[in-house]
Structure 1
Amino acid sequence: MKKLNILLAVVFYCINASAQTDTAVVQKNDAVKSKQNDTLRIGNIIIIKRGGKKTVLKDSAGVLINTTPKKKSRITTNFGIVDVGFANYSDKTNYTTATSDNYLINRSGSLPLGKDDFKLRTGKSINVNIWFFMQELYLVKRNVSLKYGLGLELNNYRYKSNISYRENGLYPNGVFTNKAFIFRDSVSFTKNKLAADYLTIPLMLNFQTNRKGDKSGFNIGFGVSAGYLYSQRNKQRSDGRGKEKNKGDYDLEKFKLSYVGEVGFGPIKLYASYAPRSIYEHSMDLRPYNFGLRLSN
């Protein structure tokens, strides 16, 4: 009987030692990644990586728990982008032709209108663009994108001279016309500007150095924009007449096609645009360009 008790004690000890060894092995293996299956098991959770790209989480029963988050959208949208800069134009007008077309009207006894009459006050001729939205469609990772949007292009051309615009009415010599014309006025203006406002759609190809596609990298873009003229007015101020705002059709071209571009680092960019055709429909040949600072969020 004594021998039997000793034998049972030895068997029980061996079984207990074996169980402890197996448990240790399982616990160790639970935290080790399988090189063959690219699988990691932690307790009852199994993490499976497929091709180094997709991660699948399952429990020990094979029930799907979670997957890798979806990829970022290829389209990003910005609202409330504002451009502030300067407006000017390249004057290629044939003033002899413009005068013979009766668009430029000369006063009797005064010098004929010419290029000097259309010179601008550079620092006070302002361009402001307000973009309702601007979207980017990424074409190649986050490095190349197509940028497009919708906004208002507001141009104020501030003249040095005392020219005035009329949609129709009396020439300085008293002859009536139903056509638009420009003439040198008889008063001296302290403020004299032509405002031309457009509803504009830009389209640009944009390149960015930052692979992650955030706004901290260097970027450059170029393309075209199409604008529709929705407002034109001649605003003036003088001691004799006070403030005047004359709205009308001054023979400005209704549609405007421009080359556009931007370059910058982060949210602050420089922008520029140039229209290869005149802003006037007939007679005058003034080709506008803008440049300045683009502020975006």
Structure 2
Amino acid sequence: MKSIVSMVAMICIAVSGSAQSSSETDTIKVGNFVIIKKKGSDDNSAGSVRINKDNYNLLRVERRPAKRKNLSTNWWIVDLGFANMRDNTDYGYAQAGSYFRTFRPQDGPVNENSYRLNTGKSSNVNLWFFMQKLNVSKNVLNLKYGLGLEMYNFRYDSRLSYNNSPTPYVFNDSISFTKNKLYAGYLTVPFMININTTPDKRKGFSFSAGVSAGYLIASRNKQISAERGKVKEKADFYMEPFRLAAIGEIGLGPVRLYGSYSLNKLQKDVTRLEQYPFVVGVRLSTW
């Protein structure tokens, strides 16, 4: 960029002798730089570059902010986070229903411990196909929306098993597992109000808040054990097909954090479970 500005500056100096009056001003724009050539000026303002040549023809080089876009698009955003859930289940009430089953007395009934999560291995990975930011007011107030895939892996530290025959139910299994997780994937549309406190900078401070709506497109229980090897049970397990969540995002320089909290339960009322997943993590995005 410096070489381009220098070249333009020399061209302006070469043609400066053709100026017709002492008040004539020429302006040349190169990218985000504006070169102002004014004859007879004595501009000593800070931040300018001045060159004297032939009858005091002067050049002032200014850098002006790039023109803001009213609509910008960010493709292929990735979220990496930890998943957990708030459990408000009344297990005495849930055990009286048909979703919890006990096949052997020594295995015990399904209870709160059956849903105990390994929080260090329960994860959330999101792949957003795109997100757009629409200017509402001076690029400070914006709307953010997009489309993507949310993927939850709830890793259990228990013998909880899911079955779908003839109808969905859960039970405490007779064996232990080296891996036991419930996967849920949603096709999701987020919608947020964004506040960008430094619209002229790519790495300033911003925050967003809003809601997201998702549709369940896949769910399965994956288990690994010495006795059975790798087993996958694919079904909806009476999970709610739609997910509504409160979402938020904070950006500080190159670091962006996100969070999500389900406003509706993970499972249908027939299960008598009241579990509300939530996640926090890092968002890999340019804005």
Q: Normalising by structure 2, what TM-score?
A: 0.76
Q: Distance in 2 between matches of 1:192 and 1:226?
A: 27
What is the deviation of 1:187? 1.2
- After superposition, the Cα gap between the structure-2 partners of 1:29 and 1:229, relative to the gap in structure 1 and judged at 3 Å, is closer
- Confirm or deny: 8 A CA contact 2:263 2:276 kept in the other structure: yes
Aligned partner of 2:22 in structure 1 is 28
Higher mean alpha-carbon deviation, 104-113 vs 269-278, is at 104-113
Post-superposition Cα deviations, 1:60-93, rounded to whole Å, max 9, x if no partner, equal xxxxxxxxxx954300000111100101101111
Post-superposition Cα deviations, 1:96-152, rounded to whole Å, max 9, x if no partner, equal 222222101123323321111101000000000110000000111121100000000
One-letter identity of the residue aligned with 1:208: N
What is the deviation of 1:167? 1.1
Answering whether residue 284 of structure 2 is matched by residue 295 of structure 1, we say: yes
Aligned partner of 1:200 in structure 2 is 188
Which structure has the larger Rg over C-alpha atoms? 1
Give the one of 259, 266, 270 matched to 1:279.
Answer: 266
- Confirm or deny: 8 A CA contact 1:267 1:295 kept in the other structure: no
Q: Distance in 2 between matches of 1:101 and 1:28?
A: 93
- Confirm or deny: 8 A CA contact 1:262 1:269 kept in the other structure: yes
- Confirm or deny: 8 A CA contact 1:166 1:180 kept in the other structure: yes
- After superposition, the Cα gap between the structure-2 partners of 1:96 and 1:217, relative to the gap in structure 1 and judged at 3 Å, is same
Answering whether residue 134 of structure 2 is matched by residue 120 of structure 1, we say: no
Give the one of 73, 90, 107 matched to 1:94.
Answer: 90
- After superposition, the Cα gap between the structure-2 partners of 1:238 and 1:73, relative to the gap in structure 1 and judged at 3 Å, is same
What is the deviation of 1:26? 4.7
Q: Distance in 2 between matches of 1:25 and 1:135?
A: 48
One-letter identity of the residue aligned with 2:234: K
The number of aligned residues is: 235
Q: Distance in 2 between matches of 1:150 and 1:30?
A: 54
- Confirm or deny: 8 A CA contact 2:109 2:171 kept in the other structure: no
Q: Distance in 2 between matches of 1:238 and 1:196?
A: 21
- Aligned-partner SS, 1:189: coil
Q: Which runs of 5+ in 2 are unaligned?
A: 1-17, 27-35, 40-65
What is the deviation of 1:248? 1.1
Give the one of 93, 100, 105 matched to 1:104.
Answer: 100
Q: Which runs of 5+ in 1 are unaligned?
A: 1-23, 33-39, 44-69, 169-177
Aligned partner of 2:197 in structure 1 is 209
Percent identity of the aligned residues? 43
- Confirm or deny: 8 A CA contact 2:260 2:279 kept in the other structure: yes
Superposed CA RMSD: 2.7
Post-superposition Cα deviations, 1:28-81, rounded to whole Å, max 9, x if no partner, equal 34459xxxxxxx9989xxxxxxxxxxxxxxxxxxxxxxxxxx954300000111
Post-superposition Cα deviations, 1:214-241, rounded to whole Å, max 9, x if no partner, equal 4211001100000000000000000000
- Confirm or deny: 8 A CA contact 2:91 2:111 kept in the other structure: yes
Moved over 2 A (4+): 24-32, 40-43, 70-73
Answering whether residue 247 of structure 2 is matched by residue 260 of structure 1, we say: yes
Q: Distance in 1 between matches of 2:163 and 2:68?
A: 55
- After superposition, the Cα gap between the structure-2 partners of 1:211 and 1:249, relative to the gap in structure 1 and judged at 3 Å, is closer
- Aligned-partner SS, 2:22: helix
Aligned partner of 1:173 in structure 2 is none
